[in-house]
Structure 1
Amino acid sequence: MTLGHVIARPGVDCGQVLLRPCTTSFGDGNGTPVGHIDDEGRDLNLRDPGYTESRCTGICDPFTARCFCDGKHRRVNPPKGSPPGTPAPVSDDGNGTKLEWGQVPWKHIYGPDGWCNSDKPVVKCACLFDGFAGELCDEVTETVCPNQCSGHGECDSGFCKCHAGWYGTDCARKVAGQPMEPGHLESKARPWLDDLVRIAPEAEAAARAASVPAGGGFSFQQTRQRPLIYVYDLPPAYNARMLQYRNDRGVCVWRAFESGNRTAIFEWTYGLEVLMHEMMLQSEHRTFDPEQADFFYVPVYSSCFIFPIHCYADGPWWHAPSGPRVMHVTNMMLEVRDWVRKHFPYWDRRGGRDHVWLMTHDEGACYAPTEIYNSSIFLTHWGRTDGEHASNTAFTPDNYTQEYVHPRQPDGWLHLIKGHPCYTPGKDLVIPALKLPHHFRDSPLLFHPPRERHFLLYLRGDVGKHRLPNYSRGIRQRLYKLWREHEWKARYNVLIGDGSDVPGSYSEHLASAKFCVVAPGDGWSARLEDAMLHGCVPVVVMDGVRGVFEDQLDFSSFSIRVREDELEGLPARLAAVPDKVLARMQQRIRTVWHRYVYASHPLIAKTLQGAINGNVGAWRQQILRDMADAKAGPEAVERVASRMAERASFPAADDAFNTILMWLHARLPHTQ
């Protein structure tokens, strides 16, 4: 059998094989995962009832539950050069019998001109899996790992298999006494790593020190910038294996490799989870000496587990099969905490006060284990402060106030999370969600030629048309109803609705609005970030919920808070804001907006500067047109454009990541 992955394995010598076969059902969580495939990876009987997302009409990889082609271009023993495609589940068995769980006609996948049999298929499937590209998914590319294994390892969809003598999550550490050798980055063997890999200063110095024999005289002395952060190398079950199990390269991560190993970036809603890990690994604040550390970062990929890992196949589970997705996160975090305590003394040294956890999913740290939450620092997007709270998500599997009892968890799980708020000012920090440069390319703050701000108020997105009533606490639904019934568009030039109500460029709209609504979704939403990155004054409508950096910045100087019961007269209230007051708020936004952008990763920094350069070029063209109308010479254009280009840079030292580090530095007296 041809295997495509070196799955991150448990055991002292990583010798334990983990199975995750495609299946029709779940087991009891106590033993080997349930599968519904034969030794070749084929479904035992396509007509058998039962369905999970992993059920496969081709050849199943029993280690990742990924479904590959059968037929000519099959997964097992494929002819040389055959493309390992990604077939959709077929809707019939090829003999006229309809399958209740399929989607695509058999002939489109396994017919003579089908995806899995033809060199020129009439229907083409997307290349979903990490590591494949090209029109027929026949091009093998690099896969995504944090910091791409520092160039000293081979990446297998999230798990770094380090080169001899190197170790650690990102292969950044060198075994003592072994000689240094250039990695893929230094040797330029893989030029696509130039914009992705950065070696933390201590990692580079420590590796050089390790390569010098005892008594060799190497000395590494430098003044370190605090805070110093130790990043735990957790077992892969809590992060790397999540990336290996994902069935779509566009989820969990914020970047992927395309044809020719070009890097594509995209906005996965919870993509900060992997990016934060990368930035911590690359940071000059990273330390390899836990005795020197001011803080300890715990890189758990809980949002990636919530989707797409949970319930795709029979496992992994924490600990009962199925049940609320968030319950598994609670159990997982306790398991990680116990692992840290077993292998390191640092949790018990200060009771976890100096340990930092990131929870990026919809309702943030609301369902963090109480015994972890009460002591540790939480970075979250959701600043809900009420002590007695119930889940407000409209997505039932994430409702953290639903009990679930199972033989694997006979006492349920709600007792594990009771007695704490979702966010504690001072102890925790509400941080920006990830917004990449293409999202706000049309913003005047990125030097795009400014537009007239002719929209009084703007909100485009899910307005709850097909949602449960508690979605967004009903705020978006009420605003949409008021907009329609009171003709806010005609009377005030207000835009509220989804894409069918408000078509056009989202970035252009935001850059053309004076005020922008900030309202919750299933929990947090990134509407505040959208507003700030476009210079639009945020109108915050979420009682008892702190916004991003609200407790750190002079938030009221550039935003307006509106109570949830004050929506009816909102346009008239905003129209009455004096122009001078609005101008002051817009000016204040221009002094802090960069703190809502993550620019510390080299690829994002490069992309950001590219967007700025493109906008400066747009300015040059606009000035040229304007001056042509006034019969001015081109030398004036170049003079103005050159002056603008000199100013057109991003203050990366004060981006979102560095703002978080500054806040942690201020927390030092409280964690000692």
Structure 2
Amino acid sequence: MFMEDYIKMNKTFKIYMYPHSKNDPFANILLPVKFEPEGNYASESFFKKTLDNSHFLTNDPSKADLFYLPFSIARLRHDPRVGIKGIQDFIKDYIFNVSHKYPYWNRTAGADHFYVSCHSISRIAFKKAEKIKLNAIQVVCSSNYFLSAYVPHKDASLPQIWPRVQDDPPNITSSERKTLAFFAGAINSPVRQKLVETWRNDTLISVHSGRVHTSYEEALQNSKFCLHVKGFEVNTARIGDALHHGCVPVIIANHYDLPFADILNWKSFSIIVATLDIPFLQRILTSISSDEYTKLHKNVLEVRKHFRWHVIPVDYDAFYMVMYELWLRRSSIRVPLS
């Protein structure tokens, strides 16, 4: 079914991106960047930049399956003219302008519209534009359905992926790794606090408060399991880090829609642990047999391609996976243009 849909999506799926002039005072927020995006929120920029050069875009809105709202939450957050305090007003004004200049938003109250954001501030960005949250498709890294901002099934989870060089790290194909499990990061949540308190002196599970003093990359490559633990927000780049280095992810975050969950069978290449089971983490991981781990590790190597951005997209990479998630959510009701 996936392959049939994927082929059909590639041939027929069309998106209309609201146009903006290079002379727009907020062109830096609304248009794709020309340089390579960097940092925690690169997925947001990579998607926009890749879509802008793809065959999925159409200049004819009558042929569009979905309409893309191209504002960047990350750039709004860091633009001194807007900042955290001004994002809600900017979004409200943007939707007002779009709905008065074009007829498309008003046909469905935004149900055939979407935006993409990797910055967690997006969960409060739409308090003055509720119809985006309620109706539009939100493709976000902060896919925590415990919060009211994210609506499961309507919205989609975007993986937070650091920009990567194309060369693979060494030894990713080897399942012979010395450390049972690894985590390093800021202790900015009760879940991480519990993890560190429980396992900081363990000889098999290596957890660190803050940065490690040795190579972070080597720690990932030498670990069988890499822990993705909810911090201030549920989204971190650790899943992408783990997969990039051939390490089996362990997800410790309740109420979290995993990226590409409509497509990938996460149980085949990761371990999901309830936060209440942190005290039993070592027992859970050591109970996994050698054969079971080999299968998990083999599947990690298979799914790595889905968590990688390319300047020119490659079949089944992160861009195409997001497009497929959008394809699944396109409206089956087409409202004809008057």
Smaller-chain TM-score bracket: 0.7 to 0.9
Matches within 5 A, 1:164-175: none
TM, length-normalised to structure 1: 0.45
In 1, the alpha carbon distance for the partners of 2:119 and 2:269 equals: 27
1:666 to 309, 328, 335: 328
Alignment pair present for 1:267 and 2:26: no
Alignment pair present for 1:372 and 2:132: yes
Alignment pair present for 1:425 and 2:141: no
TM, length-normalised to structure 2: 0.85
The equivalent of 1:612 in structure 2 is none
Aligned residues: 322
Alignment pair present for 1:298 and 2:298: no
- Structure of higher RCO (CA pairs closer than 8 Å, 6+ residues apart): 2
- The answer to whether the 8 Å contact 1:430/1:546 transfers is yes
Return the offset for 1:437.
2.0
In 2, the alpha carbon distance for the partners of 1:440 and 1:518 equals: 24
In 2, the alpha carbon distance for the partners of 1:451 and 1:443 equals: 12
In 2, the alpha carbon distance for the partners of 1:439 and 1:567 equals: 35
Matches within 5 A, 1:116-195: none
2:163 to 415, 418, 436: 436
In 2, the alpha carbon distance for the partners of 1:242 and 1:430 equals: 22
- The answer to whether the 8 Å contact 2:28/2:75 transfers is no
Return the offset for 1:481.
2.0
Matches within 5 A, 1:503-582: 503-523=213-233, 524-582=235-293
The equivalent of 1:240 in structure 2 is 27
In 1, the alpha carbon distance for the partners of 2:25 and 2:116 equals: 13
In 2, the alpha carbon distance for the partners of 1:482 and 1:597 equals: 33
Matches within 5 A, 1:268-417: 268-307=39-78, 309-310=79-80, 316-317=81-82, 325-368=83-126, 369-386=129-146, 389=147
Amino acid at match of 1:571: Q
1:455 to 179, 190, 196: 179
Change in CA separation of 1:669 and 1:423 when aligned onto 2, cut-off 3 Å: same
Q: Matched residue of 2:67: which SS? A: strand
Q: Matched residue of 1:568: which SS? A: helix
Return the offset for 1:556.
1.9
The equivalent of 2:194 in structure 1 is 478
Name structure 2 gaps, 5 residues minimum.
1-9
Q: Percent same amino acid among aligned pairs?
A: 25
Amino acid at match of 2:14: L
In 2, the alpha carbon distance for the partners of 1:238 and 1:535 equals: 44
- The answer to whether the 8 Å contact 2:242/2:249 transfers is yes
Amino acid at match of 1:655: D
Does 504-513 or 231-240 show the bigger shift? 231-240
Change in CA separation of 1:659 and 1:505 when aligned onto 2, cut-off 3 Å: same
Return the offset for 1:281.
1.0
The equivalent of 1:171 in structure 2 is none
Change in CA separation of 1:432 and 1:591 when aligned onto 2, cut-off 3 Å: same
The equivalent of 1:226 in structure 2 is 12
In 2, the alpha carbon distance for the partners of 1:300 and 1:237 equals: 12
Q: Matched residue of 1:478: which SS? A: helix
Q: Matched residue of 2:13: which SS? A: coil
In 1, the alpha carbon distance for the partners of 2:315 and 2:230 equals: 30
Q: Matched residue of 2:63: which SS? A: coil
In 2, the alpha carbon distance for the partners of 1:546 and 1:333 equals: 25
In 1, the alpha carbon distance for the partners of 2:174 and 2:294 equals: 14
Q: Matched residue of 1:662: which SS? A: helix
The equivalent of 1:655 in structure 2 is 317
- The answer to whether the 8 Å contact 1:558/1:586 transfers is yes
In 2, the alpha carbon distance for the partners of 1:521 and 1:451 equals: 28
- The answer to whether the 8 Å contact 2:16/2:59 transfers is yes
Q: Matched residue of 1:379: which SS? A: strand
- The answer to whether the 8 Å contact 1:440/1:533 transfers is no
In 2, the alpha carbon distance for the partners of 1:451 and 1:553 equals: 22
In 2, the alpha carbon distance for the partners of 1:241 and 1:553 equals: 34
In 2, the alpha carbon distance for the partners of 1:283 and 1:516 equals: 34
Return the offset for 1:663.
2.2
Amino acid at match of 2:11: Q
- The answer to whether the 8 Å contact 1:459/1:497 transfers is yes
- The answer to whether the 8 Å contact 1:239/1:301 transfers is no
Return the offset for 1:367.
4.2
In 1, the alpha carbon distance for the partners of 2:243 and 2:317 equals: 13
Return the offset for 1:498.
4.5
In 2, the alpha carbon distance for the partners of 1:277 and 1:553 equals: 23
Return the offset for 1:284.
0.8
Amino acid at match of 1:436: P
In 1, the alpha carbon distance for the partners of 2:88 and 2:11 equals: 34
The equivalent of 1:148 in structure 2 is none
Q: Matched residue of 2:325: which SS? A: helix
- The answer to whether the 8 Å contact 2:226/2:248 transfers is yes
Q: Matched residue of 1:565: which SS? A: helix
Greater than 6 Å deviation, 4+ residue runs = none
Return the offset for 1:483.
2.4
Return the offset for 1:229.
0.9
Return the offset for 1:503.
2.5
In 1, the alpha carbon distance for the partners of 2:284 and 2:175 equals: 23
Alignment pair present for 1:495 and 2:206: yes
Amino acid at match of 1:385: Y
Question: CA-atom RMSD, angstroms?
Answer: 2.8
In 2, the alpha carbon distance for the partners of 1:376 and 1:243 equals: 18
Amino acid at match of 2:27: A
The equivalent of 1:418 in structure 2 is none
Q: Matched residue of 1:273: which SS? A: helix
